[in-house]
Amino acid sequence: MQLKDKKLKSYPSKPSVRSALIMATCTVLSGSLSPASAEEEDDSTLSRIDLSTLYYSEEDRVSVNTTHVVVENDLGDEEFVRANFIYDTITGASPNGRIIPADQGSGGSIPFTSASGFTLNVNDVGSAGQKWLTEFTDKRAAIDLSWEKPITRTLRRIFEGNFSSENDFTSYGGAATMVWDLNQRNTTVTGGLSVLKETVSPDSGTPLELAIANCNDTAPALPVWANCNITSPRFGNGHKRVFDGVIGVTQVINKRTITQLNYSHGVSLGYLTDPYKLISVVDNNLDGEEVLILYEKRPDRRARNSLYWKTVSQLSPKKVVDFSYRYFWDDWGIKSHTIDYKYRYDYAPKSYLQPHIRYNTQSSADFFHNAIDAAVNELPRYASADYRLDKLQTYSIGLKYGKELGKSGAFAMRAEYIVQNYNAVSLPDMKALVYQGTFSFKF
Amino acid sequence: MIKSKINIKTLVHYSLLFSFLLLSGCSTLKTGGMFAKETVEPWHKELLAEERMQLNPYPLENSADQKIYYSRESANGGQGIGGGGCGCN
């Protein structure tokens, strides 16, 4: 668990000679940090507002604008309340799972009609004729409230409630976390549980899983199991429940290093299929021609696990490294490794630069198929061509600039470049740019 | 939109390798090593109390990153619990 500035107030201040020298140096350089001003700053941090604006843009795919506001109020005696408000606007095109034909200009031969409840979908021609993409627009508003309160001198609890809503998706839930400080607060044990209830509500209802979405009328032969003369039924909303638990240990290693190890386990139950995703049935006797389109189907249960290790260390007064590793595995057959590394360099007393790199790799889900062979006698029990269930790698690189503004403000801006490539799906690499500006103010 | 001649995959791989070597060097120094165990009294935590030394020092950026990768990868979580879901296409 994180240390907070306020905890220091519980202890007598005995800075080392080195710290005193650093503080003296900073005082000279900044001309503002003095014991008196530090005291004033402590007294002024009763409330805090954080603002963020973010622009995320994928090449030829999705763009997102996000505004995020956090208000935190210190109620005293280490009791805090926080409110997060998030608003997203999303536009663009998302891969729907259909194969990309060899002749991409044709966009496939099937006159495809209505895949989903996306805003734009009647006689969908996809994005610029690319029928493996579905255009959509959406808006998302979310609120998250939390309340942190000590129970004893070494034990505290955090309660949280959240709600989010999109045109076709709602989510609400709660979480409870207990934090236990041990060993003069050099060791912290954290345990928490959360539950979410989520509902997906496409305008046209949820489709029958693995039902036929459309047939290629021009195909000379269709699979024997395919009946194109019936209309696939649609159902009501899809509901799922998500339960998560985490237990973790945070350990102070020395005066400059803190490390954390978490184990998380989660279970998702209910409608886990994506009603907007499709899967092509291809005839290999026709050079892989798409002869049918089916709705995908996923299992109605998923158990997830992760081990997460993070360390933050100050290499020198100007340099702080922050690195983490996560190993993730689930019962859908996905295994993933993620490494994240940040290096903060304070080139001036109140300014810093922070390069960032991240690498993620995952294996594919057991039921992932790029397409289904029309020659099969029966359909698989589950099938999805969602590129996110494919074996993939994600590479990220970024740079952040941050600056303190006076005694109680801070400003930062960053840019990230993300590239994702796939193993089985023939989508081009996903390339995305992220720009984010943040502003913090304590009062 | 994005016309980069830099091979980001190579760049990330070499950067991670360099970072690993740097951290390995730092963690094996005889004095001041990153993982050198030492007794830390409450009054020694001045550095650890700095905002930049917190495990989640920039929650707005972390929140944005978690959502981006949640919507583009199958693996997620690990840092803790809480927060709402999203349709995320």
Tell me: the pLDDT tens digits for B10-50?
A: 888 788 887 777 776 666 555 567 888 888 888 889 999 99
Residues contacting A416, CB < 8 A, separation 6+: A356, A396, A397, A398, A433, A434, A436
Q: Where are the beta strands (DSSP E) in A167-300?
A: 169-182, 187-200, 206-207, 212-215, 234-235, 238-254, 257-270, 278-283, 289-295
Q: Return the closest-CA partner of residue A419 out of A429, A405, A427.
A: A429
Separation between Cα atoms, residue A181 and residue A155, nearest integer Å: 6
Q: What pLDDT, on the 0 to 100 scale, is given for residue A329?
A: 97
Domains of chain A: 16-45 (no CATH), 46-442 (2.40.160.40)
- Lowest average pLDDT, out of A4-8, A59-63, A210-214, goes to A4-8
Q: What pLDDT, on the 0 to 100 scale, is given for residue A72?
A: 95
- A194/B87 Cβ within 8 A: no
Q: Provide, for chain B, the percentages of residues in helix, strand and coil under a 3-state DSSP scheme, each rounded to the nearest 5.
A: 45, 0, 55
pLDDT in tens, A300-348: 999 999 999 999 999 999 999 999 999 999 999 999 999 999 999 999 9
pLDDT in tens, A13-34: 334 434 443 333 333 333 333 3
- B38/A254 Cβ within 8 A: yes
Q: What pLDDT, on the 0 to 100 scale, is given for residue A149?
A: 97
Q: Name the A residues in 181-200 with CB < 8 Å from any B CB.
A: 184-186, 190, 192-194, 196, 198, 200
- A433/B79 Cβ within 8 A: no
| Nearest residue of chain A to residue B60 (CA atoms) | A52
- B73/A177 Cβ within 8 A: no
- B81/A264 Cβ within 8 A: yes
Is the pLDDT reported for residue A99 higher than 80?
Answer: yes
Whole-number CA gyration radius for chain B: 19
Q: What pLDDT, on the 0 to 100 scale, is given for residue A45?
A: 58
Q: Which two tokens stand for residue A234?
A: 């649609």
Q: What pLDDT, on the 0 to 100 scale, is given for residue A108?
A: 45
Number of H helices, E strands in chain A: 2, 22
pLDDT in tens, B56-81: 999 999 999 999 999 999 999 888 88
Contact, A409 vs A369, CB < 8 A? no
Q: Return the closest-CA partner of residue B53 out of A342, A350, A23, A189.
A: A342
Mean pLDDT of A132-160: 95
Considering chain A, what is the average pLDDT of its residues? 85
**Residues of chain A with C-beta less than 8 angstroms from the C-beta of B22:** 321
Separation between Cα atoms, residue A99 and residue A372, nearest integer Å: 10
Q: What pLDDT, on the 0 to 100 scale, is given for residue A37?
A: 38
Mean pLDDT of A183-211: 94
Is the pLDDT reported for residue A219 higher than 50?
Answer: yes
Between chain A and chain B, the number of residue pairs with CB atoms below 8 A apart is 266
Separation between Cα atoms, residue A243 and residue B81, nearest integer Å: 10
Q: What pLDDT, on the 0 to 100 scale, is given for residue A398?
A: 96
Q: Return the closest-CA partner of residue A98 out of A279, A337, A340.
A: A279
Q: Which two tokens stand for residue A425?
A: 């799906």
Distance from CA of A214 to the nearest CA of B (A): 22
| A421/A4: higher pLDDT | A421
Model confidence band, residue A226 (pLDDT cutoffs 50, 70, 90):
confident
